[in-house]
Amino acid sequence: MTNERWSRRRLLKLTGGSMLALAVAPVLIGCNDDDDPTPTATSENGGGGAGPTATSTAAATEAPPAASGGRVRIAAGGSATEVFNPFNNSGSAGFGGFYHVYDSLAWLAGSEVRLGVAESIEPNEDGSEWTIVLKEAIFHDGTPLTSADVAYTLRTVADPEQAPTLAGGFSVMDVANIATPDDRTVVVPLTTPRGDFLDAELAIWSIVVPDGSLGGEGAIGTGPFKLDAFEAGSSTRMVRNDDYWDTPALLDELEIVVINDPTARLNALKGGEAEFAWEITPAAAKAEEGNEDIVINRGGAPNSRALGFAANTLVPPFDNPDAVRALKLAVDRQAFVNTVLLGFGEIGNDLVGKGLPGYADGIPQTERNVEEAAALFASAGITELTMLTGEVTAGAVAASELLVQQLAEAGVTLTLDELPADQYYADFGRLFSTPLQTAWFINRPADVHLTSFTGSNSGFNITGLAGEEYDGLLASAQTAVDRDERLGFVQQAQQYAFDNDGLVVWGYQEDLNASVPGLNGITYTQSVPRFHSASLEA
Amino acid sequence: MTARADVAEASGATAGATGRRSAIAAGVGRYGLLLVALPGVVVVVLAIIGPWIAPHPLGASVAPPFEPPSDDHLFGTDRLGRDLWSQALHGGRRLLIVPLLAAIATVFVGGAVGMIAGYLRGRIDALILATLDLLLVLPGVLVLLVLATGWGAGPLVIVIAMVLTGSPFLARLARTATREVSQAPFVQVSVTQGDGTFTILRRDVLPNVLGPLLADSGMRFLGALYLVAALSLLGFGPQTPETDWGVMIRENAEGAGLNIWGLALPAMMIALLSIAVNVVLQTVSDRFAR
Amino acid sequence: MSARPNPLVRAVVRRLAASVAVLLGVSILLFSATVVLPGDPATRILGREATPENVEALREQMGLDRPVPVQYADWLGGVVTGDLGTASSGRPVGPLLRERASNSLVLAAFAATLTVAIALVVGVASGLRVGRPEDSALSVAALVGVSIPDFVVAGVLVSLFAFTIEWFPPVSLVLAGGSPLDRPSILVLPAVALAVPAGAWASRYVRAAVVDARTAPNVEAARLAGLSPQRVLFRHLLPGVIGPTAQVLAAATGFLVGGSVVVEQIFAYPGMGSLLASAVAVEDIDVILATGLAMAVAVVTSFLLADLAGALANPRLRTGL
């Protein structure tokens, strides 16, 4: 049961897999707690600025010029064995295709929840039943979108066999009783009331496929682009859907080309083989800062990964709060950001969710204090530590090496036990019992993060933070239908975690993408670039 | 005559074509030898004594990442702000020792198997040849990747992969040479004297087989060096903070735009090291061939 | 005379049978290697979800609970009938591998041609001038070529020919529904990166073969008979070189196949090599097995072709093939 709940997190594991197979997969950022989204008819084209900020020329700003056309090639990581199945996918290339071929019921523009092909998504009084009303849209083969398609989609995504990485989050639905009172209405009962069902689940994944479909090479959706050709591990070609129910896209053609090495992706951009490089390294971004032929798009904290170390508060020596305190004081967070991220990131304060709604900005920043750290380590009798690490995300090992140096300054000898990235998650028992390990999380709103990775119900609690009081806070943060009430609980939970958890978040690694100048109007949803309203100047 | 696959004849053919000497470094000439060997020998020496003369300890961050060369840092710094020159000095031994072990093990196993097959002939010969033929068609990278999938790419796994994919070639060389030698009158004399097989192989056959074996061991070293570096490049490197030149290439490639030496220095070291080893082994095997 | 088939045909048939035997053995080796690997594929696939029940269920689903010989027979049966299994994503391996193998074949053909050209030109030129400064210079160049790994060559080529003088693209993309031959320029840099070390290596053996052949009786005789140097070279010297050279070039195919794992990865070229590298990274056993076998087929085939070339070039060998 628990196991099912968190199986969505396997996605996180996959994103951190090997540098060869998968580059970055979409970041599952959460969303704000807007209980009553009031979408406009053209929700997709509404207000810009939701995406990452650009360092040089404008990347995501105002509505682009009407006449654009042209072809954009996106260099992205992807797997050779993908099948274009939105229910079961891990590489960037796949997601890049899904978010153009399909529409979602709701999606995240930056940290803001927007409605896609849904006219409205409303809970009942206590959040135990949600009603989805659809807009009028047609699939690429001309058939209209109906409630049956949505019901099928939701049933499929809740099936662990069909959607192993997604089903966990949707297991809260009472699948057998999903109802379709008419062609445009779907009623979804939940097994437990959830005030955050739209924000925490539908906004993160609600791609709508036609009844009975699992995608594939001839996949059709209702999205702004039609799938023209798909070859796993090499390319996905899409052409504009001129009959789109909303404003049609400006670009004629979109092609995702698979390049798994970030340096090669940038090379493709520089060599004129691509117009957009999806995920480049900090070093590359820094090296190209003065290059006028390249625009570096920085994601900022809202589009980032939280990087740090996890001390398990249930395992010696970190069952001693002084040891945890010493560790937190020994870390020079700014040095990590400067060295590991080359400055392309933001400093962390041991909590996940910076830059996103609900984050506890009010808690003062933890500063380094080597003397106090050394004294605390000494009084706890700690002179040697071992840390489990591996390149589970870019920079994880580099950060671990830096921690070795910083702990040495506090009088502690840290030994690294490095595992191959692809085997890091193979032994669960070890991860749950090791005192100290490297840790990274997709930066999501604090409530989404804490309910997933801490508390007694979490399936992947590597710091051991739990207890009656804390579990109560988390439960309230999920069920409360009233937004302000919910945020109150989230604040309390963060304060509790800050005081008691063994997690050190030294910083946030922001998404770094690169494009040619003149490619404007890209919006980002969970780190996936959307080119629906993008334009390309000749 | 048998279903023996003749794939392995390829290696036999090269043995035939080159006689007892390695073809790899042949014809380089005295000045050429000096030209390629000198910098190579310097690199070998640096690889050996590097850890003792490195200005900074292994893995120490001393400056901002990817700084270009300066007075303080001869070749600038790497992705963690470590002194590149120091890291390069620390990272040579592994690339010297692992391939050397692999080459020695390969020569030993390949030579022994080949001599046994060539001397005993008959069914054992056929059986050994059949096994060798299987291994000969497997690219080293493939074998190493499959083994590394389960056991990681530790030194032992690299040596095993090299022995599996390199020794068939050597065994073919040794077998051909052994067959020739064992017809020679002095071997026949030993046989009629009733000397043991092992004694004959060691005393009479080995000295005549060693030349081509050693000459080819340069290629084995090169093959192992390539595998070690390629594996590091594909992401199966040694445990941090341990490093080698292959790891350095991978780690610092992303910063090539900031400090090209992160890439160029280890790449040059690898190239010079393999050139030097080839030349040295060529010279040694020439002595044996005389 | 009428009952006995042509000895050449018989020899070819025998070699074919031998090659099949080798491949059968390779398939056993590969399969056993994946079986004895420590760790359980099901556990690895499940990652953060590996509870005992899940592992058991997946093992059963993957057929891992059956005896190993049964698993092997099942797999081999599939291979023979064209069913190469299923990737962990559910995609059938057969069509995937066919597509990747044909891409690799195109690149390999290009690289092999270059390899042969480099080997012959450098090797013959060097061998004909034994002991002279030209020989020494070429030998030094070849030695350096052998010693520089293909991935270093690739990096140098990209910075020179893709960025400094923009002649060729820095990545070798094949677009959906297309073939690498739509834009042959994408093949140049990876092919050169593969061919330089392989060609330099093979050239050393060609040189040795030329040196040997120069003193062969028929060549000596032709020279003494006063035939023109060109005629001696092309009619008498080179035919004697082709046999051993073909074998070396076949062995160089092993270089190309192995090198393709790294080089295809660097250029993002969708071939077998990059398929293998990504399959290993996620431990996709069916893909690893199929790709490994395909690589062995490539090497065996090239040896077979080399034998044929050698036999056809040398009448003496035709019967003793």
Q: What is the 3-class SS of A34-73, one letter each residue? A: CCCCCCCCCCCCCCCCCCCEECCCCCCCCCCCCCCCCEEE
- Please tell me which residue of chain B has the smallest CA distance to A264: B254
Question: Same structural domain for residues A420 and A402?
Answer: yes
In chain A, which residues have their Cβ closer than 8 Å to the Cβ of C49?
3, 7, 10, 164
Residues A253/A244, Cβ–Cβ less than 8 Å: no
CB-based contact (8 Å) between A277 and chain B? no
Q: Which residue has the higher pLDDT, A332 or A58?
A: A332
A3 within a domain of the structure (yes/no):
no
Question: Same structural domain for residues A256 and A281?
Answer: yes
pLDDT of the residue at C17: 85
CB-based contact (8 Å) between B146 and chain C? yes
Token pair belonging to C35? 């079986």
Give the number of residues written for chain B.
Answer: 290
Q: How many CB atoms lie within 10 A of CB B221?
A: 27
C90 within a domain of the structure (yes/no):
no
CA angle B244, B247, B253 (to 5 degrees): 135
pLDDT tens, residue by residue, A428-475: 677 888 899 999 888 888 888 888 788 887 777 888 888 888 888 888
CATH assignment at residue B13: 1.10.3720.10
A152 within a domain of the structure (yes/no):
yes
CB-based contact (8 Å) between A340 and chain B? yes
| Contact between A391 and B61 using a beta-carbon 8 Å cutoff | no
pLDDT of the residue at C44: 60
Cα separation, A441 vs A446, whole angstroms: 11
Nearest C-alpha neighbor of A409 from the set A457, A369, A455: A369
Question: Same structural domain for residues C112 and C61?
Answer: no
Cα separation, A118 vs A133, whole angstroms: 6
pLDDT tens, residue by residue, C298-308: 888 888 887 77
Cα separation, A262 vs A268, whole angstroms: 10
Q: Residue holding tokens 């995504």?
A: A157
The arithmetic mean of pLDDT across residues B124-140, rounded, is 81
Q: Is A40 exposed, middle or buried (0-12, 13-18, 19+ CB in 10 A)?
A: exposed
In chain C, which residues have their Cβ closer than 8 Å to the Cβ of B133?
22, 25
Cα separation, B12 vs B1, whole angstroms: 18
pLDDT of the residue at A514: 93
Question: Same structural domain for residues A346 and A439?
Answer: yes
CATH assignment at residue A359: 3.10.105.10
pLDDT tens, residue by residue, C115-125: 989 988 998 88
Most confident of A32-41, A305-314, A415-424: A305-314
Token pair belonging to B206? 């080995």
Chosen for mutation from C247, C255, C302 (greatest number of chain B CBs closer than 10 Å) is C247
CB-based contact (8 Å) between A217 and chain C? no
User: What's the structural domain count of chain B?
Assistant: 1
CA angle C17, C296, B122 (to 5 degrees): 50
In chain B, which residues have their Cβ closer than 8 Å to the Cβ of C296?
137-138
Question: Same structural domain for residues A172 and A235?
Answer: no
CB-based contact (8 Å) between B239 and chain A? yes
Provide the H-helix boundaries in A142-281. 147-157, 167-170, 262-270
Question: Same structural domain for residues C278 and C305?
Answer: yes
In chain A, which residues have their Cβ closer than 8 Å to the Cβ of C174?
231, 234-235
Question: Same structural domain for residues A397 and A464?
Answer: yes
Nearest C-alpha neighbor of C93 from the set C267, C251, C291, C310: C291
CATH assignment at residue A192: 3.90.76.10
pLDDT tens, residue by residue, A397-414: 889 988 998 999 999 999
Q: Is A34 exposed, middle or buried (0-12, 13-18, 19+ CB in 10 A)?
A: middle
Question: Same structural domain for residues A375 and A316?
Answer: yes
- State yes or no: pLDDT of C267 exceeds 50: yes
First to last CA, chain B: 36
C160 within a domain of the structure (yes/no):
yes
Q: Which residue has the higher pLDDT, A421 or A187?
A: A187
Question: Same structural domain for residues A442 and A355?
Answer: yes
- State yes or no: pLDDT of A134 exceeds 90: yes
- State yes or no: pLDDT of B244 exceeds 90: no
Chains contacting chain C through 3 or more C-beta pairs under 8 A: A, B
- State yes or no: pLDDT of B222 exceeds 70: yes
Nearest C-alpha neighbor of B171 from the set B23, B288, B8, B25: B8
Q: Which residue has the higher pLDDT, A319 or A199?
A: A319
CATH assignment at residue A282: 3.40.190.10
Question: Same structural domain for residues A278 and A389?
Answer: no
Most confident of A12-16, A92-96, C101-105: C101-105
In chain C, which residues have their Cβ closer than 8 Å to the Cβ of B234?
261-262, 265, 277
Question: Same structural domain for residues A396 and A457?
Answer: yes
In chain C, which residues have their Cβ closer than 8 Å to the Cβ of A22?
282
pLDDT of the residue at C76: 87
The arithmetic mean of pLDDT across residues A83-107, rounded, is 87
Question: Same structural domain for residues C106 and C75?
Answer: no
Question: Same structural domain for residues A78 and A162?
Answer: no
**Which residue, of C81, C111, C143, is where some domain finishes?**
C81
Residues ≥6 apart with Cβ < 8 Å to A396: A307, A389, A390, A438, A440
Question: Same structural domain for residues C160 and C62?
Answer: no
**Which residue, of A159, A182, A215, is where some domain finishes?**
A215
| Contact between B254 and A284 using a beta-carbon 8 Å cutoff | yes
pLDDT of the residue at A47: 33
pLDDT of the residue at A16: 32
In chain A, which residues have their Cβ closer than 8 Å to the Cβ of B80?
339-340, 398, 401-402
**Which residue, of A195, A215, A235, is where some domain finishes?**
A215
- Please tell me which residue of chain B has the smallest CA distance to C283: B149
pLDDT of the residue at A251: 93
Q: How far is CA B238 from the centre of its chain?
A: 18
CATH assignment at residue C223: 1.10.3720.10
Domain range for C136 = 96-319
Question: Same structural domain for residues A429 and A363?
Answer: yes
Question: What are the φ and ψ backbone dihedral angles of A179, each rounded to 5 degrees?
Answer: -115, 150
The arithmetic mean of pLDDT across residues C218-241, rounded, is 76
- State yes or no: pLDDT of A420 exceeds 70: no
SS3 call for A231: strand
User: What's the structural domain count of chain C?
Assistant: 2
Question: Same structural domain for residues A338 and A485?
Answer: yes
Q: Percent helix, strand, coil in chain A (nearest 5)?
A: 30, 20, 50
Closest partner residue to B61 among A283, A287, A402, by Cβ? Answer: A402
Domain range for B64 = 3-289
C91 within a domain of the structure (yes/no):
no
pLDDT tens, residue by residue, C89-116: 677 888 888 888 889 889 988 998 999 8
Chosen for mutation from B62, B240, B242, B250 (greatest number of chain A CBs closer than 10 Å) is B240
pLDDT of the residue at A487: 85
pLDDT of the residue at B8: 31
**Which residue, of A191, A215, A239, is where some domain finishes?**
A215
- State yes or no: pLDDT of B146 exceeds 70: yes
A6 within a domain of the structure (yes/no):
no
Q: How confident is the model at residue A237 (pLDDT cuts 50, 70, 90)?
A: very high
Domain range for A517 = 55-102+223-299+512-537
A18 within a domain of the structure (yes/no):
no
**Which residue, of C57, C81, C105, is where some domain finishes?**
C81
Q: How far is CA A345 from the centre of its chain?
A: 16
C88 within a domain of the structure (yes/no):
no
Q: How confident is the model at residue A239 (pLDDT cuts 50, 70, 90)?
A: very high
User: What's the structural domain count of chain A?
Assistant: 3
The arithmetic mean of pLDDT across residues A327-332, rounded, is 93
Question: Same structural domain for residues C125 and C263?
Answer: yes
Q: Which residue has the higher pLDDT, B255 or A336?
A: A336
**What does DSSP say about strands A519-520 and A528-530: parallel, antiparallel, or unpaired?**
unpaired
**What does DSSP say about strands A71-76 and A276-277: parallel, antiparallel, or unpaired?**
parallel
Residues ≥6 apart with Cβ < 8 Å to C210: C123, C124, C126, C127, C128, C237, C241
A27 within a domain of the structure (yes/no):
no
| Contact between C261 and B141 using a beta-carbon 8 Å cutoff | yes
| Contact between C201 and B24 using a beta-carbon 8 Å cutoff | yes
